[in-house]
Every structure is written in C-alpha cells, then in structure tokens.
Amino acid sequence: MITDSFQGKFEQVQAAIADGPITPRVAPEDIRTHLQSRFDFAKPMALDDAIVAVEEMLKGWQVHVTHPRYFGLFNPSVTFASTVADSLVAMYNPQLASWRTSPAANEIEKFTLDWLARKFGLPCETVSNFTNGGAEANLSAVTVALTRSFPGYGEVGARTLHATPAIYLTGEAHHSFSKIAHMSGIGRNALRKVATDHNLRMDLTDLAGKIEEDRANGFAPFMVVATAGTTAAGAIDPLPELGDFCRTHGLWFHVDAAWGGAAILAPSLRNFLRGIEHADSVTCDAHKWFSVPMGCGMFFCRHPENVLEAFRAEAAYMPGKANGAALDPYTSTVQWSRRFIGLKLFLSLVSHGESGYAEMIEHQSAMGRLLRQLLSDSGWRIVNETQLPLVCFTREGLDIRKFLACLYDRQIAWMSEAQIRGESVIRACVTSFRTTERDVQQIVEGMNRIMNVDAALPSVPAECR
C-alpha cells in the first residue's frame, strides 16, 4: 500500500510525542550554539544525517501541540491523511494562482469549500478560498466589506472617505482585527469595542447605542464582527440576532468562526452556530478543529461581485482566463502564487468521512465537559460558560504564571493564561482527538497535587503564589 511506510513513521512519531515531555527547556543561546556547531552551508551534509539532526531538534525543542495533554491555543493533533497531503503537495508543487495552471487542484479546493459552505447554509453563489489562516481570512473580510461599503475605497483609498469607517466587535474578538485595521488604512481606532453580557457575548443594546452615537459623531459604521468561539473563552456571540440587526442597519455581518466553525459537523453542537447562514462572510480554520496541519484557513463570502472587485488584478504575464465559470485565485483572493492548501482538508475528509469528523469533534467536546466537571468537583472556580471544550478557571490567591510554570516543569499538561473580565486565569482547551478520559483525569489529579488539595482544605503552595 502506498501509505504503509509513511504511516509507520507517522505512528512512531505520535507515540514518541505522547510518551515524551510536552514543554521544552531550552534557551535561545543553546539552539544557536547547537546550529553553529552542527551545520555549515559551505560543507554539504548527507540528507539522511540532516533529517535525523533536525528531527532531534524538533523532538526536544518545541511545545508538542499534538501531545494528548496539550490543552493550548487551538493547535490540533493532525490526521495521518492530512500529513500525507502536505507531502504530496510539496512533491507536485502545483501553482494555484490561475485555474489553467492547476485545474485539478483548483477544482479539488472548490469541491471541498463548496461542501463546507453548504454545511454553513450559505447560498450557492458563495465564493470561497483557502488562506494561510484566520488572520488572512479576516483581512479578506474587511477588505471586501470596505470595497462594498465605500465605492471610492479601492481606487483612491481611505483618505477620500466622507467619514471614518467603524467596525464593531467585542473585546473578546481576535486581535488580528487590530492589525487589519492598521493595514487597511482605516486605523486601529476604527475598531469600536462593544460591551459583553455575563457570558462574554456581544450585547446588542450596547451595539445599537454605540452605532447611533458614532453616526451622530461623524463615523461611518459598516461592519459587525461576531465571533463563534472566542479565543480566550470560547464564547459564541448571538448570531441570529446580530444577523437581523446587520440586515436592518445595512451593515456587513462577518462571523469569525476560526475555531468554532467545525462544530457545524457535530450533531450536538451545530445548533449553537445557528445564524451563521446569514453571514456576509465567514472565517473558518481547518488548521484548528478540523485537525490538519498549519496553515489551512478558509474565507467564505456571499457577494462574489465584491470579492472580484476587491482582489481585481490584470497582468499580461499570467496565463489567460479559463473558459466557463472557473475563477483565477490571483484575481479573487489576497494571495498571488498559491500553494495547494486545501488538499490536506480534502484528503482528511475523504478518508475519515463526515461521520468520522463528527465523532472526533464530539469526543473532544465530551473531554471538555469532563475537564469542566472534574475541575469544579475539586474546588477550582470556573469563570467561563461555553458549549465548546474550553475551560477557564482559577483559585483564590493563585499566581497564574507561577502555577503554569509548575505545570510545565512537571510536564503535567500545557495550558495558557487568559484575561477574563480583567482577571488573570488558566485557559485549557481540548484540541486533540487523541486526548482520553484518563489524560483528563491525570491532568486534574496532577494539578490538584500541585495545589496539595485536600478537598476540605485547599491551600496554595508557596511556589505558586
């Protein structure tokens, strides 16, 4: 079988990662000295030796995001099929900038994206493309929304606009929007922070009030960014209500479902994404909960004419346009030269099937519920409410940084720090389909040991205060 030898290597790597440390202990100087002493481009090295040397470095010197006890920043364990796909892509190296140069690859991507657009309930005219990640998809959304809302924006730029454009989002939205506002020329102050409710979801009354006030003060509101699965706490903004609001007020409705979008495949979760079907544009990252390697983001938009206007390009040196309905990605997306990003999602979906994916997502969701329950049972204070497998928690008097240092040092798990309502807390997100009940139990036991928890008498050890 084609995959046999590669699969052996893949399983061996995954097993070694699961048995090994999660968090490295290394300083920049250690790595720099090592590189200087082992490698010299003036003296070519046998490829086999170089591969072994590089793999040693990767094994020892990275946070292992595919470890079953990595509860981190949406970086997933990866399916075998998706890693095969990345190797195939590198070997054939198709250029997807134009349809004519890569008909097969372009159509495989379209096939995959059209399927997901239908799952989201977006209309059949929706255009979509793969991106490097969620930040690029969000950039695409802001660029197209500006192009649609301000006809002069594309030709003469932001300086010609009659009023300062404004984008509405909560303090929980992803920070890529800050850079995007800067890069797009509307400026970081164009981001208007809307208040949240007790579950960190966008507050519609505050949104309406801010828009009215801004209009009166000479701003030009044009876009609302809802997040379906916020980065820190996994909150899902009220999508149906926001969709209605945007339609009524003539605003672009973007849903950043970079992580949470995959929930559309899980029978017990898809209802929480209700309302996404009314979005003008959607961001969803396959390199998060679809368990494929980075980078694999996706951008969906229901207004093809605005997408084609925003990314319009003419160049005599590019191959001529294909006949028929095929789009050339260099004229309809941010990128020019384009890697065959979508094969890893296509091959993974083909080999696991929709039901296999539903199972993986449901499993992680169940592990998230278990984690929430065990933490709460042993006296941790849970500070976020979400249906997605992301738990934020703390304990009175805990120094989060010191506690996380203990956690890393003892190789119990990898978790991160988050700010929830101004309070520093621990953030744990289940991101691996390999995480088992036993992993979750052992992690909570390990954390309780650090705290020296005798359920009746919790105390904070000196090293973690």
Ligand X SMILES: Cc1ncc(COP(=O)(O)O)c(C=O)c1O
Residues that bind ligand X in the complex, under the rule CB under 6 A: 74, 133-135, 138, 174, 176, 227, 231, 256, 258-259, 285, 297
CB of 229 to ligand X, least distance (A): 6
Q: Which is nearer to ligand X, 22 or 429 (CB)?
A: 429
Nearest approach in angstroms of CB 226 to ligand X is 10
* Least Å from the CB of residue 35 to ligand X: 27
Say if residues 326 and 109 touch (Cβ distance below 8 Å): no
Alpha-carbon distance of 279 to 384, in angstroms, equals 26
Q: Are 279 and 299 in contact (CB under 8 A)?
A: no
Q: Which is nearer to ligand X, 292 or 444 (CB)?
A: 292
Residue 290 CA, chain-centre distance (Å), reads 10
User: Is 102 or 293 the residue whose CB approaches ligand X more closely?
Assistant: 293
Bridge partners of 48, per DSSP, are none
Q: Tokens 């929304």: give the residue.
A: 145
Exposure letters 408-429 (e unless 16+ CB within 10 A, then b): beeebbbbbebebeeeebbbbb
- 6: which 2 tokens? 């590669």
**Least distance to ligand X, CB of residue 298, Å:** 10
Shortest separation between residue 101's beta carbon and ligand X, angstroms: 26
Q: Which is nearer to ligand X, 221 or 229 (CB)?
A: 229
Q: Cβ 130 to ligand X, closest distance in Å? A: 12
CB of 381 to ligand X, least distance (A): 24
Tokens 């490097």 label which residue?
A: 132
Lookup result for tokens 């909560």: 170
CB of 252 to ligand X, least distance (A): 17
Q: Which is nearer to ligand X, 283 or 348 (CB)?
A: 283
- Cβ-based neighbour number of residue 398 at 10 Å: 20
232 vs 288: CA distance, rounded Å: 14
State the nearest-atom distance from the C-beta of 297 to ligand X, in Å.
5
Residue 301 or 444 having the CB closest to ligand X: 301
Rank residues 172 and 277 by Cβ distance to ligand X and give the closer one: 172
Q: By the 8 A CB rule, do 461 and 421 touch?
A: no
Considering the complex, state which of residue 120 and residue 153 has its C-beta at the smaller distance from ligand X.
Answer: 120
Q: Could you say which DSSP state residue 95 is in?
A: -
Beta bridge partners of 392: 427
Which of 429, 462, 461 lies closest to 443 in space, CA to CA?
429
Largest CA distance in the chain: 75
Distance (Å, rounded) from C-alpha 453 to C-alpha 378? 8
Shortest distance in whole angstroms from residue 301 CB to ligand X: 16
Phi then psi for residue 449, to 5 deg, are: -65, -40
Q: Across-strand partners of 282?
A: 255, 300
Nearer to ligand X, 116 or 453 (CB): 116
Residue among 343 and 406 whose Cβ is closer to ligand X: 343
In 378-460, where does DSSP find H-type helix? 400-409, 437-451
For 353: left if phi > 0, alpha if psi spans -120 to 50, otherwise beta; the answer is: left
- Residue 276 or 444: which CB sits closer to ligand X? 276
Concatenating the DSSP letter of every residue in 293-359 gives PSP-EEEEES-HHHHHHHT----TTSPPPPSTTPPPGGGTSS-SS---TTHHHHHHHHHHHHHHHHH
Nearest distance from residue 454's CB to ligand X, in Å? 37
